[in-house]
Amino acid sequence: MTTGLVWDERFLDHRAPPGHPEHAGRAQAIWQRLESEGLTARCRRVPAREAADEELERVHTARHVRAIDETARSAALQLDPDTYTSPGSALAARLAAGGLVNLAREVAEGRLDNGFALLRPPGHHAEAERAMGFCLFNNVAVAARAAQAAGLAQRVLIVDWDLHHGNGTQHSFREDPTVLYFSTHQFPFYPGTGAIEEIGGGDGRGTTVNVPFPGGMGDAEYVAAFERVLLPIAAEFDPELVLVSAGFDAADGDPLGAMRVSPAGYAALTRRVLGLARGRVVLALEGGYNLDAIARSSAECVRTLLGDREPEPGFGEPDRRARAVLDAVKAVQEEHWAGL
Ligand SMILES: [Zn+2]
């Protein structure tokens, strides 16, 4: 398999105050792990580049794009209770979004089989007109729109396995039947959105699928969410490209979350999505704050993208509370998806 890899040292120039969980050491830990396991050498590097105004403004308002650009003039700014910028943040954010656009394009065109984007800052909380939850531009949403605008994919599936609900991504495609947004997340939790009943609006009813789990869920429950809800819906939706908001804050040991997904669990989720869209799958880093867990989990995902196959461990039966959530999601979604 030819797996593309986006990484740029300028992602490290986005800095938050000391003690902030979303710091440059996260990306460095992942990069070092990929290097030490020989995985970077097996991937093809795809250069980051600055996203153009036109690309960003398919998702964000021009006013928001200008506001982020303006932050480069200030030593440090706080944009919301959790979101900070440094002089290097605006460039890092443009490079992250543009790098993911390029990677998704190469995969959609078939020049790469799949890809992994080791990005900072993350994106899925960023809304049309506001930075939020450590996110400045919504990288995945921008890449989905770019692939569509280039005529490379009509239907795009966004799978968001970050601990948190991707309010920005959901909002971007709320009424759009051509982008299916599927999210597993801890609930109730930050940012507060992502209830089962949030299924999209207008022509987009049914193309937002939320699986809000209580804390404590792990591999068995996440695999069950994919097998019982995501895969049947995705088979019917028939995406031409899959973008994954691959946060690793649902990992066992994460300081912000209460989930227990293991590196083998993330590999299992990656394997499930690789069965969609002829394997045209791109993972983009979102959150994840336990450095050892995010490094090991990223390495397992990249290994899976490269085609390495280990025998999958048995994950067991999902927790009763998770089964109840999945049943409730199916009950709400079944009028939109015959295969459920
Ligand atoms: Zn998160």
Per-residue pLDDT reduced to its tens digit, 116-128: 999 999 999 999 9
What pLDDT, on the 0 to 100 scale, is given for residue 48?
Answer: 98
Rounded CA separation 280/83 (Å): 32
What pLDDT, on the 0 to 100 scale, is given for residue 172?
Answer: 98
Mean per-residue pLDDT over the chain, rounded: 98
Closest CA to 142 of 325, 156, 206: 156
Residues whose Cβ atom is located within 5 A of ion ligand 1 = 162-164, 247, 249, 287
Rounded CA separation 304/299 (Å): 9
Assess whether 336 carries a catalytic annotation.
no
Closest CA to 87 of 101, 109, 68: 68
Residue 277 predicted with pLDDT over 90: yes
Q: What is the Å distance from ligand 1's center to 117 Cα?
A: 16
Q: How many CB atoms lie within 10 A of CB 264?
A: 16
Q: What is the Å distance from ligand 1's center to 183 Cα?
A: 11
Closest CA to 65 of 75, 78, 76, 54: 54
What pLDDT, on the 0 to 100 scale, is given for residue 273?
Answer: 98
19-38 confidence digits (pLDDT tens): 999 999 999 999 999 999 99
Residue 162 predicted with pLDDT over 90: yes
- Hey, which bits of the chain come out as E strands? 3-6, 44-46, 77-80, 83-85, 114-117, 156-160, 179-186, 208-213, 241-246, 281-285
Quick one: average pLDDT of 233-260?
98
Q: What is the Å distance from ligand 1's center to 75 Cα?
A: 26
Q: What is the Å distance from ligand 1's center to 151 Cα?
A: 30
Report the predicted TM-score, pTM, of the whole model to 2 decimal places.
0.99
What band does 1 get if pLDDT is binned at 50, 70 and 90? Answer: confident
62-110 confidence digits (pLDDT tens): 999 999 999 999 999 999 999 999 999 999 999 999 999 999 999 999 9
Q: What is the Å distance from ligand 1's center to 189 Cα?
A: 10
What pLDDT, on the 0 to 100 scale, is given for residue 229?
Answer: 98
Catalytic residue among 14, 23, 125, 185: 125
What pLDDT, on the 0 to 100 scale, is given for residue 317?
Answer: 97
In percent, the amount of the chain with pLDDT more than 70 equals: 100
53-62 confidence digits (pLDDT tens): 999 999 999 9
Residue 310 predicted with pLDDT over 90: no
Q: What is the Å distance from ligand 1's center to 257 Cα?
A: 8
